[in-house]
A and B are shown apart, each in its own frame.
Chain A
């Protein structure tokens, strides 16, 4: 390697690092803004850790997985997709750690096919989530499954995306 190449490489490396650094700085600035918005400076030290899934405050914290309450499913399927596992696990951790908490798992289906089959399919989706909850130590008394089948759609259009948003389980807290 000649010295020019070395110089170029070094330059690229530095530039790359700078770029990374810029991103980090940008992130820091963003979160700093959030902290500044809060009323007291003390909040910084008592800040909610959004990854603490046993903290009830995270249920309303948009940064936390606990604020996400809807699990979506594939057509005629009731398996919780990998991308939604962390959300289910976060809620399971919360309910397992808070014995006074309870949830209703509302299962839904899209409009295709027969209504009573979809009612059963919605329940199977709810059961699929409740199974994962049980596996994480949630007691049966803390959760119930209700299926609405295709009767309570979020979206009323006849399209793939609309159907996708209707195939869901909603985690509804009846007690925190």
Chain B
């Protein structure tokens, strides 16, 4: 059992009412050479689904890793705010398959679901992880899967199990086996260092994929999850690069006079929407990757920036102050007149579109408060889902369930996440420096 993982199951149902106590919910500590990320559940949902994640029976011929997959599965499900996993010390038996489950006992522990399974193989050739999900009340088997796992990929396998369980019970795919990209800034003055980081969605295994004494900005994922586009000032002015996160190779995409900013991949991965000011002021351009073609999409003296594609590749949503203050607009990818989307509030910027294209998250500013608002595009209803002062850079989870964003607490940049209904909140804190501009990866196949 990983001692760094602390459950307080009894707290969960009270979290909604006790925001300030919520920090006690779950604490993860991740240590490596780059960063320490702590995940804290700030606010959960009352009535989270009780589930028992039984330790998977270790039948492998080499010793198990420090953190067992069942721990990771439980932490993922807990983090979603929708599940309430049974604390490890309350797991009274370790059935490895359905016929070993004594359902009455688990029902007595007030569980609705149970996950059991086993792991065979070894650390050299890899493992085979098999697991089953049961409804404890009906004793019905809801899932049975076998996952081949490469050595070193047990955490990833655990995220896949959590995804499958989440999808079977909640009805939408999980987004646990995904990654996040973000920017960190450490140091001050001339000793400041910027890093583009990529980590697992639970904050584990952070890796710097680019480091620079000059600002790094605006990471954006390719739809296959293999590449990240970003802005770097290493040449003195902004320039856009695309970097393969597996090989580290990278390519300069744009370094025109003026701003080269806000890259966004098209859903088919063939084009990049960017904001360039080579004409004199910021305009949205579409660039076909592998070509030298930059086609101008907007034409206005105002600021036009932060383009993002809808998932059909039909519209580009962007920020423009053509009406005086920044607001969200959209324009057909084929061109035409932009249509204003955001109407409520004096400042709306930096849209992120839900995977189903039915919601946009954006930074909504009013006086000295900047918070994350979600606008339902079907009925135009708007809800504010964050409560910071300087919240920014919202990014939808690839399953649309949560939004990751950057906020500032005690002068320090931290990452936060909130469910789209605003009810489940969590915070990821990097121990040193500022963390900012999170971007949630697509679901990696």
Contacts and interface: CB of A to CB of B under 8 A. Distances in A.
Given A124-B303, A152-B215, A158-B411, A145 B258 contact: yes
Interface stretch (A43-51, A88-96, A111-119): A111-119
Contact of A114 (B238, B258, B281, B392): B392
A170 interface: no
A81 interface: no
B370 A113 contact: yes
A124 B215 CA distance: 19
A58 interface: no
A113 B389 contact: no
B95 to A, nearest CB: 51
B281 A124 contact: yes
A121 B303 contact: yes
- A113, A115, A121, A123: residue with the most chain B Cβ atoms closer than 10 Å: A115
Given A112-B368, A152-B215, A117 B326 contact: yes
Given A112-B370, A123-B258, A158-B411, A117 B390 contact: no
Contacts of B325: 76
Contacts of B437: 115
Interface in B355-408: 363, 365, 368, 370, 389-390, 392-393, 408
B282 interface: yes
B391 to A, nearest CB: 10
Nearest to A121: B303
A63 interface: no
B259 interface: yes
B110 to A, nearest CB: 45
A157 B349 contact: no
B261 interface: yes
A116 B319 contact: yes
B347 interface: yes
B350 A117 contact: yes
Nearest to B280: A127
A62 B215 CA distance: 32
Contacts of B195: none
B233 interface: yes
A117 B303 contact: yes
B291 interface: no
Give the size category of A's interface with B.
20 to 34
Nearest to B406: A115
A116 B218 contact: yes
A113 B305 contact: no
B97 interface: no
Give the contact-size bracket for chain B.
35 or more
B233 to A, nearest CB: 7
Contacts of B217: 115-116, 119, 149, 151
B440 to A, nearest CB: 17
B435 interface: no
B305 A117 contact: yes
Contact of B306 (A111, A116, A146, A160): A116
Interface string A110-153: 01111111011101100100000000000000001111110110
A116 B262 contact: yes
A146 B411 contact: no
A7 B435 CA distance: 75
B81 to A, nearest CB: 26
Contact of B277 (A76, A120, A148, A149): A120
Contact of A113 (B257, B347, B436): B347
B189 to A, nearest CB: 10
B370 A116 contact: no
Contact of B350 (A114, A124, A152, A160): A114
Nearest to A163: B368
Interface in B294-327: 303, 305-306, 319, 321, 325-326
A112 B392 CA distance: 9
Among A112, A124, A146, A160: residue with most chain B CB under 10 A: A112
19 contacts: A76-B325, A113-B347, A113-B370, A114-B306, A114-B326, A115-B218, A116-B275, A117-B303, A119-B259, A120-B259, A120-B282, A120-B303, A121-B303, A123-B258, A123-B259, A123-B277, A124-B303, A148-B233, A151-B217
Given A114-B306, A119-B261, A120-B305, 20 more contacts: A113-B363, A114-B350, A115-B436, A116-B261, A117-B305, A117-B321, A117-B349, A117-B350, A119-B305, A120-B275, A120-B303, A123-B277, A123-B281, A144-B257, A146-B236, A149-B217, A151-B217, A151-B233, A156-B188, A157-B411
**Considering the complex of A and B, which 6 residue pairs feature the smallest CB-CB distances, nearest first?**
A114-B350, A151-B215, A114-B349, A120-B303, A120-B282, A116-B262
